[in-house]
Structure 1
Amino acid sequence: MAFGDVRVALTSRGEPDREAAETVIRALRPGCAIERADDSTLAEELYPADGMAYVAVLPNATIVCDRELATIELPPHVREFAAGRAR
């Protein structure tokens, strides 16, 4: 799932904001244990393993790779998080 202008974010070569990414995953996965993962690329983590989610907060866009969120009806707290953001 992505919010913002992904094309611009991926071509601008902006640095990811790791603290913001942690804030995003905590908002989308309340109550889950969160551990930082090593840096990787979108191509490597587009379809993460069970129990894993990857987030990149870049200038102009936020990208979330999470198989569970991609295959369920989004819960209300995720829809609230997305409210007002470009999709």
Structure 2
Amino acid sequence: SNPLANGSVIYTQSGYFSREFAMRTDAGMVGINVGIPVPVGMFPFAGHKNSFIGDLHALGKDGYKFYTETKVITSHWFDEVEGKSTDVSTWDGTI
């Protein structure tokens, strides 16, 4: 096990071994049948373990989450036809 775990590569024609390698490797960047596992711009160029410096993988999901304020919205929609009534519901006579 490498203490930096930046990138790892496998050359294979087997889908099975490529999936096994991708699942079992500790590296932050995995290449399958490519010489250097450098991702495109939308993915973070960062490894795991001691090769990663900072708090977030700024170009990945972490960057999106950092600049996003999440909220929970609960809503209930009423039917407008059912909502129209001439009678007003009260508590009179129920207690």
Question: Which structure carries more helix by proportion?
Answer: 1
Question: Which structure carries more strand by proportion?
Answer: 1
TM-score > 0.5, shorter chain as reference? no
| TM-score in terms of structure 2 length | 0.23
Specify the structure having the higher radius of gyration (Cα): 2
